[in-house]
Structure 1
Amino acid sequence: MSNRYLPKLLCTASLLGICINGPLRAAEASKPDNSLRQAANTAFSAHTVKSLADAPTSDDTLVEVLAGAVPGWAFGSVTQVINDGRDAAPVSLLYLAQRTAGGWKLGLEGSDSFFSLLESVPDQVLSRAEKATFRSQRAALKQLAGVETGLGLPWPKGASWRLTGGPHGNSGSSRPYDSIDLAGGDGRVLAPRNGRIYKSCIRNGSALVTLVHDNGYSTRYYHMESLTNVADGTMLATGAYLGHIANGLPCGGSSSGAHVHYSLTRNGNAEPFNNKLVGGWQFFEGSSPYQGYALRRNVRVNVGGYLINDGPNPGPGPDPEPMVVIVRAPNGAKVNLYKSPQLSATVLGTAGHGESVKIVCHAYGDAVQGNWGSTKLWNRLTTNAWVSDGHVETGSNNPVVPACP
């Protein structure tokens, strides 16, 4: 690991690539060792290979302990270190780890291992309030993400900033396109929803900042400087100050013009901006990274245009476009159309084999033995009736339309 990526005066055990960020939450911290770094890197590598296409590459990673006040426990982050000048922003994930007889048991945010460790981690490492925030994320994660995110844009409600870069990945063209670039106003970046703050890769007044929200999403911010000095784990209210737009590169990469790189994650995975409602705007990808546009009440804003922030609860967005699908009824008979996605719901009508119907959104309900096995996936029609996904031909066993509100 290159020492130029380590925050000065705030690091210990630098030969092991472990950094303690700021004051510990208790007088004594667990001793970080090389086996913890190896466990974090192994989990991180497996995650990025599985979840990101053409992920940005780096020479190293930075494993940090954000809280380790009880021997044998650590809560922290693992972050890519990107070569300077590369068109990329670092990928970073929180982790929770417990030392066992066989070595460190480690879980990355959103994973079953993380939530399993969460139930036994001491309060001195993660407070009860922090644990409650992560548990609420898990509850929200049981539902697939819909169009609405419940997030605002990271500046004052009612103010306008410029969309300097449309949906793109961490290395520009890497998938998914989970990020947008923004600049404007007085440059003060604000929390788009209540969330707990964690800072990784602190260097030269900059850092990669994460907000863990209570609705299953986390948001991340890169390039900021003049950061808030609140402690990791602090719950910030919507509109709380995070930092100022700049060209900070604490973990490498590149930046042209002061801005903030605003990213979405869900269940520890990068979440596409495409089709998402954020701050009252629905974002869409373009034919290439950094292109695309945002749509709000029939007003379209392309890259370079200005967006008014409606805040985290803008209300329902534009109706999704219906998708025409073909009914596949068992034995060529008819299928029932229900008032809700339950077999006990009122039957509103029927659809015959081979008939075309229009679906607009999906939800999960009662299990149905369909043409391709058992499924709990249902689709809502333009008539507001529901049909089991097992009785329509969509070309996939997964949702093909957005989640219903």
Structure 2
Amino acid sequence: MSRVRGWACAVALVAASLLTNPTAAQAAPTAAGDLTTAVTTRLLDRASATDAGLRGAGADNTRVTITRRDGQTWAFGTAVVVAPAQEGQYPAGWLFVAHRDRAGWQVAFDGEANFADLATAAPARVVSQAEKNVFTTSPSPMYAGGDYRTGMRLPFAVGQSWYLTGGPHGWAGSDTPWSSIDLSGGDQRVLAARGGTAYTMCRGWIRVIHDRGYSTDYYHLWNSISVNGAGVGEGAYLGDTGTDVTCGGAASGRHVHFALRQNSAYVPIAGHNFGKWVVMGGGATYQGYALHGSAQVNVGGALYNYGALGLTQAIIDANGGGTVNKRSGPGTGYAVVGSVGDGATVNVACSANGTTHTGRWGTTSLWNKLTDGTWVTDAYTWTGSSGPINGWC
């Protein structure tokens, strides 16, 4: 991409506001008593502040799962508010750490200011060291800063083609941000888009927390794995596509509802790359398309999974042309020393400024030096960033 302009600038402003998350308040002590009650009380407050569709939900609409506990002082688990079983409704869920002191239970959800502090202080039998490393890392808001790199594949086997049955839409369908897409077909096996730490939010719903502040949600799964903070590699089996709505909502036809989060909040999925396809939004929910170089697949079409795009790799986008010239230096004043085809994956060694060009992603003077020593203009590459992805030359 190299440049993310126009529609993406507006989307970035939305993402920035989401990452600020006004609900991420300090965890307040809850009166001494039952832990589940304490978590449920906080959960209903958090859900009602996050999703208007869940306001008014009662304790009978919640699922609090305490997966680890250390006596009467520490606990860890998942907390979910079940949505109504109807179209356009989806559950809301978080991880939590709880600590009991003289004032009662303090409960913090991921994304709240006190979560990392409680996770750090918790004994290892409640929050593992690997989880502490994930929870206490403070990634910069890279999405809001114009960095759309995910390092993710599509959530199915490399080499397969699945149908894009739903373009960018909200986690609950019509809500914002448009964080999700729907995919179906192939061998129906849903796989982790990138390695990370996995949690079962409820039956049919898996969340994987990755690096760089990202996490991915997978909903409507059949035969979903039961996992509680285990590390999973890229391509790990999570379940099969299905129509499971254990935690609410509705589903018609087998598929996976695949959503993107960053810094504990759903973020717009448009502009990000999965399996070397850039997801693009449409004029309304469930519309849109995906780009691999100049190749465009609309909703209803099949996406071939090329595998993850590395964080120092780029996709050549000839903007409708067949090839892009490679030169001996960063500009058109240097000799042409070859060409590279539209849709090709290239490895970037470093970048420098040179002559200015305009491509699909905007106008730029940035040039990328490839690992074979040749140069291509950034106007005809998708890197996921408006700047260098592997330093300056």
User: Please, what TM-score do these two structures have when normalized by structure 1?
Assistant: 0.67
Q: Is the 8 A contact 2:48 2:54 kept in 1?
A: no
Distance change in 2, residues 1:312/1:96 (3 Å): farther
The 5-angstrom pairing of residues 117-156 of structure 1 reads: 117-136=118-137, 138-139=138-139, 141=141, 144=145, 146-156=147-157
* Range moving further from structure 2, 57-66 or 110-119: 57-66
Matched with 2:44 is 41
Shift of 1:134: 2.5
Q: Which residue of 2 aligns with 1:102?
A: 103
Q: Which residue pairs with 1:228 in the alignment?
A: 225
Counterpart of 2:35? 32
CA contact 2:38–2:107 (8 Å) conserved in 1: no
1:242 aligns with 2:238: yes
What is the deviation of 1:237?
Answer: 0.8
Give the distance between the partners of 2:142 and 2:299, measured in 1 at CA. 34
2:258 aligned residue = 262
Query: Which one is further off, 159-168 or 86-95?
Result: 86-95
Q: Does 2:196 match 1:214?
A: no
CA RMSD of aligned residues (A): 3.1
- Name the counterpart of 1:291: 287
Find the counterpart in structure 1 of residue 63 from structure 2. 62
- Residue by residue over 1:5-25, the C-alpha shift from the partner in whole angstroms, topping out at 9 and shown as x without a partner, is xxxxxxxxxxxxxxxxxxxxx
Partner AA of 1:139 in structure 2: P
Please name the residue that 2:381 is paired with: none
* 1:83, distance to aligned residue in structure 2 (A): 1.4
Q: 1:195 to 1:164 in 2, by over 3 A?
A: same
Q: 1:318 to 1:37 in 2, by over 3 A?
A: farther
Shift of 1:148: 1.6
Shift in CA distance, 318/91, structure 1 to aligned 2, threshold 3 Å: farther
Query: How many residue pairs align between the two structures?
Result: 299
CA contact (8 A) 1:55 1:174 kept: no
Is 1:179 aligned to 2:180, yes or no? yes
In the TM superposition, what is the alpha-carbon distance from 1:306 to its structure 2 partner?
A: 0.7
1:309 aligned to 2:309?
no
For the residues of structure 2 that align with 1:127 and 1:317, how far apart are their CA atoms? 38
Shift of 1:58: 7.1
User: Per-residue displacement from partner, 1:7-63 (whole Å, max 9, x unpaired)?
Assistant: xxxxxxxxxxxxxxxxxxxxxxx96341232123323433x15xxxx6566733333
- Tell me: CA distance 1:55–1:301, structure 2 relative to 1, closer, same or farther (3 Å): farther
Report the residue type matching 2:289 in the other structure. Answer: Y
Residues 208 and 216 in structure 2, CA contact (< 8 A), matched pair in contact too:
yes
Is the CA contact 1:108–1:268 (under 8 Å) kept in the aligned structure 2? no
CA deviation string 1:61-112 (max 9, x = no partner) = 3333232234222222222211112323222222222223223322221332
Q: Is the 8 A contact 1:89 1:222 kept in 2?
A: no
Q: Distance in 2 between matches of 1:57 and 1:157?
A: 41
**SS of equivalent residue, structure 1 residue 238:** coil
Could you tell me which residue of structure 1 aligns to residue 334 of structure 2?
Answer: none
- Please give the per-residue CA displacement for 1:342-387, whole angstroms capped at 9, x wherever unaligned: xxxxxx99xxxxxxx99x99xxxxxxxxxxxxxxxxxx982349xx
On the 8 A contact 1:159/1:308 being kept in 2, the answer is yes
Aligned residue in 2 for 1:383? 365
Q: Give, in whole Å, the separation in 1 of the partners of 2:89 and 2:267.
A: 17
Give % identity: 35
What amino acid is aligned across from residue 111 of structure 1 in structure 2? E
- Work out the CA distance in 2 between the residues paired with 1:36 and 1:92: 12
Q: Kindly tell me: are residues 82 and 100 of structure 1, through their superposed partners in 2, closer, same or farther at Cα, counting changes over 3 Å?
A: same
The amino acid across from 1:69 in the alignment is: D
Given that residues 210 and 219 in structure 1 are in contact (C-alpha distance below 8 angstroms), is that contact kept between their aligned partners in structure 2? yes
2:80 is aligned to 79
Q: What's the offset of the Cα at 1:224?
A: 0.4
Corresponding residue for 2:328?
none
Determine if contact 1:148/1:278 at 8 Å carries over to the other structure.
no
Query: Cα 1:142–1:176, aligned 2, differ >3 Å: closer, same or farther?
Result: closer
Cα 1:258/1:381, change in 2 over 3 Å: closer
Q: CA deviation at 1:201?
A: 2.3
Label 1:280 to 1:76 Cα distance change in 2 as closer, same or farther (>3 A). same
Classify the secondary structure of the residue corresponding to 1:234: strand
- Report the TM-score when normalising by structure 2: 0.68
Q: Whole-Å Cα distance in 2 between the matches of residues 55 and 146 of structure 1? A: 31
Give runs of ≥4 in structure 1 deviating > 3 Å: 43-46, 54-61, 139-145, 401-405
Q: Summarize deviations over 1:110-154 as a string: whole Å, max 9, x none.
A: 332111112201101111122123234x23557746222111111
CA distance in 1, matches of 2:105, 2:46: 11
- Offset at residue 267 of structure 1 (A): 0.8
When structure 1 is superposed on structure 2, of 116-125 and 308-317 the one drifting more is 308-317
Residue type of the alignment partner of 1:211: V
Partners of 1:56 and 1:317 in 2: CA distance = 41
- Report if the CA contact (8 A) 2:220-2:245 is conserved: yes
- Higher RCO (Cα < 8 Å, 6 or more apart): 2
